Chains A and B, each alone.
Chain A
Amino acid sequence: MSKPKTNDPEGRELSTTVWTALDRKAGAIIELTIKQLRNKTSTWTVLGVSMLLLVLLSAFYIDSVREGFESIDNDGDSVDYDGDGYPLGQERKYGSSDFDPSEYPGSGLFIPEGQIYYNGARSHTGNHTWNADGPSFFSGPWDSIRLEYLEADEPCPDAIDENLEDAPYSNWAPFSCLMENGDRYVQFLSFDGNGTLTVAEGWYAVYGITTERFDVAPDPPEAYIDEDGIDWDPNDPSTSQGFDDDGDCTRSEYPEQISSDRDDSNRNRIPCDVQWIRATDGSVIQIQPDMLVDEDPVDSELMGESSHRSFIIITGKIAFAMIIGIFLPLFLALGLIRDEGENGTLHYLLSKPIHRGEFIVYRLSGYLIFSGGFVLLMSLAMALVTIFLGPDGNRLGDVNVWFGIGVVTVLSLAAYGSIFNALGLLSPKYGVYLALIYGVYEFAMAVMTLLGAELVPVVSVSHWALQMIDAVVLVAWPDTIMLSQMATAFNIDSGIDIFWRPPIHTFGTGSPELAIVVSSMVLIAFISLPILVGQSIFKRREID
């Protein structure tokens, strides 16, 4: 037998309480707000632009995934800077200069013995390797010419006289020619010869011996790409790891050329190693390599995951939090109440038994359900793109990060919505300008946060939203610190070390979970305060 229904003195069922009535009013205003937003052209314009932005970003991502990751010469040693046919890496191995084309692997090393200095005797005789810096004459057998010039056995032009008083024949370029008396004119040239070198006033020359010469075949540039990989054993508890695969740091079998203080640039008193510092939970939090150790790893092994995460972080921070997060509220929230007043329809809603303060909250709720729904849908779509196209591995983290980005953006939408709505109420006439100025301010604070500023941007929604994304990323992918450190330490150009930083507002704990809690609380304050201000303004506003 069913229980008889109990009614209040006015005959209403007790199920019809103040709360159910509030729910119904809220539901009606939320529904009306959503319908209104759906009926505005500007709404679909701004949503369309937002979608287009995400589609373009996805297209870039898909394009890069399809192309794969090409090997990159992270340390630049595959390049032949002096044009002698030998890449920098090979020149480093043999200790020859990559700035002087006369020095190359097998060309012999020049060891100076003396010089014809500016203010000393102008000539010297002997069997040497000569480095003539300025206009000079050489008399005697020309044993070998280290650089071949077509003009070397050609008669000298008239401009070169025997007094060497005129300007050099060709300014600042290696050159040689045959004088009428059988001597040679030389400038800016290295050569071997047994004879006398006479140098013009104001110039100098160095003479010495050259070590034995031998033929060395130039290595292909590819030999110096991805030639020094990351040597790290995660099971090895030692902090000193890393191995100089290409030998450009240790140089044990090659002549010394690079100063030895570079060998221990991480100052751990172990030359040519990489210091891997871990937290108590074993996660890597810092990587400090000595110079030229593990500096050219196999990019495809690291770039895939690192770039994938960078794409998600950049899209989350810039596209979602900074662009969509600021522009959607600017178009959708500014006029939530202001436009009703201007359109002359506000009285329909306010002549009902509903408090003006409640009314603001319900309007903002309607806006948030509409815009937040769109953002969550977009983040889900992006998650599907990256899950199916991302590098192999457990991509569950992608879902978590995209969901986190969606939630952070919804919080931003709520904060900016309540701020812009309050500005619209504060000044119906100039609210749009105030909102634009505030939007630019928030964007600037976001850029400052991205650049690493920690203090000034704290008075902005964007700063806390971006930090929250950093924290969400770290919770979902705890090894992101390691990837970021690897990018910095080993010159991996994935962008993760630029666009992601460990959250800073953790009261010194480094806990990303605490950062999420702190950021959420600050964002909730950013949402609530403008609502209270808006309610205070609206409550006192006469509606003529």
Chain B
Amino acid sequence: MSKDLNMKVNVLPVLTYNFLHVNDSALQISDLNIETLSSPKAKEIPAGVTLKEGVSFEEAGKLFLENKDRILAPKEDTVFPNGDTSSRDASQAIRTGMGADVDDLMIGMGVTTDVYTVDEGVKVEKPIIIRYDCEDGKGSLSSQVIHARKDSEVTVIMAYTSDKEMSGFQGVSTRLLAEDGAKINLVKTQTLGNGYVHFDDIGGACFKGGQINLVTLELGGCKVWSSAYVTLSEKESVFNSNMGYLCREDHSLDMNYVADQRGKKTESSMQFKGVLMDDAKKSFRGTIDFKNGSSGSVGDEQEDALLLSDNVVNKTMPVILCQEEDVEGRHGATIGQLGEDLLFYMQTRGIEEDEAKRIMIKARLESVARMIPDAEIMQKIQYYIQNIV
């Protein structure tokens, strides 16, 4: 099926100066050939996990709509920030990083959703692995919902690969609900070919003591959108995100990560480590949003971007929004090339500059790769990193 995409995605939770061109991102592709409208099947479904296949995108969203009041935990006396954009994506069953245009695409194209439900109290030890072995010239859209019932725990690995020279389109929506005391670990590795356009739109919510942990490695593709919006709805819920990225040649990477902290004593930690090479372009938006009622919450966001070419474009928007007195929010960014002191130190130990750079790229990416809880995928990723650098 041929399709033209003209979407506005990754809208910043609050608008800022238009001249920075970071308020949103345009996902525009003409004459896209989309053949596949469902997810590949997981190799193995562990005991305690139910997989319901082929559910319509809207039907799968009902899980979130039915819990909307719990998820949004609306408060009186809310004062909105300047340039607030929250109403734009309010139609979504659950807010996602890329926003409502992805939902509209999924619904319009008739994409089906695979719904994984983890039974109450079940702690699944073995990860569920979903492999996307993408082919040349193909286009696909897919959608998952991962629902961890009370006190359950599950790890899902989504691995997107294709040969280095391949082109195509792959878009995915992943929606997560971690109920009371439940934990969802979502690991995403992306090593698509140099001509691949890819988007990964994540949205999630945590109830009391619930936890969502993301580990993301964006290493391939020519145009990539990678985003997550996690709502910490209730007390003591937690969102951790660790991301490693590599963007090279004339590729682009556009990110929008939001920790929406509504419950008391919630915690968010978002760490981004990346490398830009050649003529790469990257836009990073990271927001910690302390809503009123989130007293006792903490949020931390760090970006460490290593720029290895004089032609890269690096845009960074680390935002903190706050309408709560008793919170601690912090963000930091270090952006630049390898420090002269570090280079000098390495050279005094006989390591040439190029080798030192290789070591530092590997160190950054492998620190995230080591979090992959599957030995085979981890080795493949490490091998991929080794080959690239």
A binds B: no
What residues make up the interface of A, taking CB atoms closer than 8 Å to B? none
